[in-house]
Amino acid sequence: MQPPGTPSVDQLLVLLTVVEEGSFTGAAKRLRRATSAISYAIDTLEAQLGVHLFDRGTTRKPKLTHVGEAVVAEAKSVSNSVDTLRARVRGLLEGLEPEVSLVVDSMFPSIQLAALLSDFHANFPTVPVRLLVRTLGAVEPVIRSGGAMIGVGCVIHIDPVGLRQIQMPGVQLIPVAAAGHPLARAAGASPDIREHLQLVLSEQLAAEGREYSVLSLKTWRIGDMAARHQLILAGVGWGGLPEPMVRSDIETGKLVRLDLGDWRGGEYPLHVMHKVDTPPGPAGRWLIERLLASSAGAGAHTVPKAAAPTKVKSRRRAPRRVARGRTK
């Protein structure tokens, strides 16, 4: 048995047009070819594949055989791939990037990020996205190494040399605990928070460099924001979390916003950035503009405040360059 030959894209186009129009004549009119040319293309395709695609003897209109139905399904897939290829090349010719890569601080609200990237896909369907999520100072190395074109991170953890940074609205951090936690049940009292386990976000297991809003003598350092959120929900300890992340938990009573005398909350400042010598193209610039615009309106819905928030405090004076192991 001879293996099937390789059909051309044009032959597959003719096949799909015949099926869509329901006749060779209709396909000829649509493709502006002679009916004999359409018949020849189908005959040649059948000869190359070694199968009968249409049962011409039972009806006046060409009817697909079972094998023909299977071939048409594959032809549609090939046609879609060709259309995607042409759209991708058209975008490249117009200056679109082959890919947009983005690294974001884990403090950045995931709901806001998902909505933003959904809009990006709708506007740039041919541009793939590579998304990385990093903690605190781990954002900067990804940008500098070329692992991401655009970054969203906290200026506290980033050396600005060689980077173009644009300030954007920060994320409000608020102290929370599970509803059954002793701090949540304090009801206006002033418990000694130093004796209660605080779950602190950290870049690595070992604590080095500056520490932010670490108030307890008992701490766990956790490198994953989602894991820290779940541990706080489970009542293991208390900690400061982004307000958008815990908004629904507070509204449903799973978490309680704490009124701590030493720290009632604060803003985690964010910047969107890229390397000066590798500016983004049209898709990347659109993404930056939408990051700034979406963040500007993201803080409109907030939970009732326990007290006026204060700026995030550091235990010691900040050096010019932040060392590894910073925690929040």
pLDDT in tens, 92-114: 666 678 889 999 999 898 888 99
Work out the average pLDDT over 162-174. 87
Same topology for domains 9-93 and 100-170+268-298, yes or no?
A: no
| The predicted structure's pLDDT at residue 304 | 38
Round to whole Å and give the CA distance between 199 and 325. Answer: 15
Assign domain 100-170+268-298 to a CATH class: alpha beta
- Please count the other Cβ atoms lying within 10 Å of the Cβ belonging to residue 154: 24
Q: Does 314 score more than 50 pLDDT?
A: no
| The predicted structure's pLDDT at residue 129 | 93
CA distances, 153 to each of 115, 242, 289, 318 (Å): 18, 14, 16, 17
Q: Does 118 score more than 90 pLDDT?
A: yes
Task: Tell me which residue has tokens 């890569």.
Answer: 101
Write the DSSP string, 239-290. Answer: EEEEHHHHHHHHHTTSEEE---SS---EEEEEEEEEETTS---HHHHHHHHH
pLDDT tier for residue 57 given thresholds of 50, 70 and 90: low
Taking only the tens place, the pLDDT of each residue in 25-43 is 888 998 899 988 988 888 8
Taking only the tens place, the pLDDT of each residue in 235-291 is 999 999 999 899 999 999 999 998 877 676 788 888 999 988 888 888 898 999 988
CATH fold of 9-93 reads: Arc Repressor Mutant, subunit A (1.10.10)
| The predicted structure's pLDDT at residue 94 | 62
Tokens of 98: 């082959």
pLDDT tier for residue 190 given thresholds of 50, 70 and 90: low
Which one of 3.40.50.1370, 3.40.50.300, 3.40.50.720, 3.40.190.290 gives the CATH number of domain 171-266? Answer: 3.40.190.290
Q: Does 299 score more than 60 pLDDT?
A: no
244 vs 308, higher pLDDT: 244
Residues 280/286/291/293 CA torsion (nearest 10 deg): 140
Show me where the domains of the chain are located.
9-93, 100-170+268-298, 171-266
Look up residue 137 and give its amino acid.
G
Task: Tell me which residue has tokens 């009573």.
Answer: 253
Round to whole Å and give the CA distance between 179 and 209. Answer: 33
Look up residue 134 and give its amino acid.
R
206 vs 156, higher pLDDT: 156
Q: Alpha-carbon Rg of the chain, whole angstroms?
A: 30
DSSP H/E element including 172: strand 163-178
